[in-house]
Structure 1
Amino acid sequence: MSANSYTYKRLPGKPGGPLLFAFHGTGGDENQLLSLGRDLLPEATVISPRGDVSEFGAARFFRRTGEGVYDMDDLARATAKMTRFVAAHVEAERPSAVLGIGYSNGANILASAFFARPGLFDATVLMHPLIPFEPDVGGNLAGRRILITAGRRDPICPPDLTNRLAPHLRAGGGDVTLEWHEGGHEVRPSEIEAAKRFLAATRTEEATHA
């Protein structure tokens, strides 16, 4: 069953409220962003899956053949599996809004699922994503909000690739916000605050259209 295709944790929130999916980075697990999700959006139900690929014992969502070199066939497999997982939980929860947050490898699988089925998510927070290919977006991004956070000295996610991603998503109709810090691949407090503001704005917009 797609809803149980990953090991995951669920923090229940307000019935009928927002549903927030949280995706960990390489070596993390379903606990890594769980409490962050609750802090960012206290009324949301938070669902956090564990990646189903092991890289020398470190959990990931898809395979790679080197740093920044993706196994594109496995990425396609993981993307299809993740979109089914998300869709199954959305159907079960019937939330007021569907949101996603991911860090590093988690941001990459979230981005790939979003590219494949933009209609699944109302808003996404991509923290230090690395998209070393031209995204093939499977639909219109109009009305979809995306926050990208990144470090200007990130050795894993080069700033030039981040700078290439944002305008590509804007060209597809996405409402993209880019938040930089002066460090590397670490998540800094300014990113957390940006995510909190971003999700709060999504909640306000949701209430306006209710």
Structure 2
Amino acid sequence: MSADTYFYLEREGAEASSPVLFLFHGTGGDAHQFMDLGAELKPGARRVAPRGDVSEGGALRYFKRLAEGRYDMADLARATAKMAGFVRDQFGVEKPSEAIGFGYSNGANILASVLFETPDRFDTAVLLHPLIPFTPKPQPGLKRVKLLITAGKNDPICPAPATQRLADYFAAQGADVRLFWHKGGHEIRQEELLAIRDFLAGQ
């Protein structure tokens, strides 16, 4: 594996024109974390799951942080450019019928950062429990993106007001954004997964 790409897992779609679903794991996860779940959430899609290239005490992540909720912004910029390039390279000659991003926690954060910089990489994105502790710059390209943000109202890692600010930012850019809350914390709940499945099915 070279420094400009990622180790990743891939499962072919049902057809050559199938949507591609990129799966971004949370801190401490790996490329396997959501591979099976992806098949349930978007049946028939090609699935691509890159593994984070940063280790925090042995836990894999996509970019470095200085402390909980304090990001190494230089490394986030590095990781964002690298991931945007990885996603582009996965398209081949032409973009698939739909490019979908699915990310949880740290995976949601790198997905959001790619959207801030290169919104053309994804048509649809699902951000599970994201935390963006800074104000992104205006991005008119987000007008074409459909987003679902899911979160726990009592999440100690991703406070509810921060989640609402992120949703408001996307809405202000013209994105089609929806917000789903559950009553728990940072865990992924069944009702959350059902909402994601329905969203990806266009319901």
- Class of the TM-score when normalised by the shorter of the 2 chains: over 0.9
Q: Which runs of structure 1 show a deviation greater than 6 angstroms over 4 or more consecutive aligned residues?
A: none
Who is 1:8 aligned against?
A: 8
Deviation of 1:18 (Å): 0.2
Letter in 2 for 1:82: M
Q: Cα distance, 1:167 vs. partner?
A: 1.1
In the TM superposition, what whole-angstrom CA distance separates every residue of 1:5-30 from its partner, at most 9, and x where no partner exists? Answer: 10000011121110000000000000
Q: Distance in 1 between matches of 2:151 and 2:129?
A: 5
Equivalent residues of 2:27, 2:60 under 8 A apart: yes
Query: Could you state the TM-score of these two structures normalised by the residue count of structure 1?
Result: 0.92
Deviates more, 1:86-95 or 1:6-15: 86-95
Take 1:178 and 1:30, find their aligned partners in 2: how far apart are those partners? 26
Amino acid corresponding to residue 6 of structure 1 in structure 2 = Y
**Structure 1 residues without counterparts, runs of 5 or longer:** 203-210
1:20 and 2:21 aligned: yes
Q: SS of the residue aligned with 1:148?
A: strand
2: distance between equivalents of 1:137 and 1:43?
A: 34
Report the CA distance shift for 1:165/1:94 in structure 2 as closer, same or farther (over 3 A): closer
- Asked if the contact 2:115/2:142 (under 8 Å) is kept, the reply is no
- Deviation of residue 92 (structure 1)? 5.1
Q: Name stretches of at least 5 consecutive residues in structure 2 with no aligned partner.
A: none
Is contact 2:153–2:182 with CA below 8 Å preserved after alignment? yes
**C-alpha distance in structure 1 between counterparts of 2:126 and 2:29, whole Å:** 17
State the number of aligned residues.
202
Q: Which amino acid aligns with 2:8?
A: Y
- Residue 38 of structure 2 corresponds to 37
**Which residue does the alignment assign to 2:98?**
97
8 Å contact 1:16–1:94 — kept in the other structure? no
- Pairwise mapping of residues 99-178 of structure 1 onto structure 2 (< 5 A)? 99-178=100-179
Paired with 1:83 and 1:33, the residues of 2 have a C-alpha distance of: 20
TM superposition shift of 1:136: 2.0
* Root mean square deviation, CA, Å: 1.7
